[in-house]
């Protein structure tokens, strides 16, 4: 229970269906779930009151230390390595469907239910638990769930699987809880005001230094404010003038350089990914035709997936823009998630 529309809908729906449920909330180092306020300040009064109105118990799980040493530490380390992470993917694996799931099971639950727009089902032939896109493709969140294993998926219920956002709003409004117009959080939960640069500056004061912005031939065009503050494909905020728009093509931490160039240089035929997790099958044994997306807000594109050492090689039918190290490549077979991996590098062959 976050106190938002989607998790509230999940609770209301399950209660109507006769499930015995309780609300469970994580306390973490973030401005949505703060852990650094005086204990006398009840940061979760709104969620507790919401559970009371629904008529279910509420449980608070302290996750500050584990969240800091997994999600926040990884987030910082990746940026300081010149990469651009997606912390929600790791949080789902380790926190929401990791720590929270184990806490829920320890308290007598058999499953956890969340407000994600996604679906799970069991394949009869293989008995594998499959992850499927939510019916509302405009809200589909399967991209963020590719790291979940069979155990986690098998203990999960997604009540919003067949719902649209508008249907969820209408149903919750009937209960007069006054949350149907509550704004959704679009930011990283532990980054105040979505200002990750200030967040990194406070933690790495002195370690982040200005450096050169260079073209692909090594010519210095200007200076940057610190390589962790840039990402592949970035055009605005470079602070350099040129006859045509320039984009960040590469980040070189060891040289403390940002490489820029023309937009066409952002396109690549494929990528190498590591830390793969497979959902529809145990492992990738042979090349497979699929669709893939390299960022959440992009459309999946046709590709071939090849086993490559301890990871995979993905070759697209047409070159893709801004393939970014540490982002997730998520692989689809129609409505089903085959699996995914963490992007290591873009390639052209």
Q: SS3 of 95, please? A: helix
Name the residue among 307, 304, 311 with its Cα closest to residue 333: 304
Neighbours of 62 (CB within 10 A): 13
Rounded distance between C-alpha atoms, residue 254 and residue 66, angstroms: 30
Q: Let me know the angle formed at the C-alpha of 85 by 283 and 146, rounded to the nearest 5 degrees.
A: 30
What the block records as the tokens of 58 is 């509420």
Report CA Rg, the chain.
22
CA pair distance 137, 183, nearest whole angstrom: 20
Residue with tokens 């997604």: 158
Active site residues: 91, 189
- CA nearest to 110, candidates 1, 20, 232, 216: 20
């Amino acid at each position: 229970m976050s106190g938002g529309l989607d998790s509230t809908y999940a609770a209301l729906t399950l209660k109507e269906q006769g499930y015995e449920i309780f609300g469970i909330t994580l306390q973490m180092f973030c401005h949505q779930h703060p852990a650094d306020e005086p204990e006398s300040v009840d940061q979760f009064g709104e969620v507790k009151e919401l559970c009371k109105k629904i008529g279910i118990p509420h449980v608070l799980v302290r996750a500050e230390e584990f969240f800091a040493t997994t999600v926040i530490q990884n987030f910082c380390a990746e940026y300081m390595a010149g990469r651009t992470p997606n912390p929600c993917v790791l949080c789902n694996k380790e926190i929401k469907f990791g720590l929270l799931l184990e806490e829920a099971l320890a308290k007598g639950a058999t499953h956890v239910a969340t407000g994600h727009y996604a679906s799970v089902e069991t394949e009869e032939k293989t008995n594998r638990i499959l992850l499927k896109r939510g019916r509302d493709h405009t809200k589909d969140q399967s991209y963020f769930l590719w790291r979940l294993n069979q155990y986690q998926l098998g203990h999960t219920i997604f009540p919003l699987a067949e719902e649209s956002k508008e249907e969820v709003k209408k149903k919750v409004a009937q209960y007069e809880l006054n949350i149907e117009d509550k704004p959704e959080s679009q930011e990283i939960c532990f980054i105040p005001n979505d200002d990750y640069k200030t967040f990194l500056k406070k933690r790495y004061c002195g370690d982040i230094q200005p450096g050169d912005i260079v073209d692909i031939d090594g010519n210095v065009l200007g200076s940057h404010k610190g390589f962790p503050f840039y990402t592949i494909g970035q055009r605005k905020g470079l602070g350099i003038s040129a006859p045509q728009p320039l984009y960040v093509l590469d980040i070189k931490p060891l040289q403390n350089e940002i490489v820029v160039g023309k937009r066409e240089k952002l396109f690549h035929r494929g990528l190498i990914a590591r830390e793969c997790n497979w959902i529809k099958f145990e492992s990738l044994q042979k090349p497979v035709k699929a669709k893939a997306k390299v960022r959440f807000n992009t459309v999946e594109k046709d590709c071939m997936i090849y086993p490559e050492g301890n990871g995979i090689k993905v070759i697209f039918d047409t070159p893709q823009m801004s393939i970014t190290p540490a982002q997730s490549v998520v692989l689809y077979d129609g409505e089903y998630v085959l699996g995914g991996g963490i992007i290591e590098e873009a390639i052209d062959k």
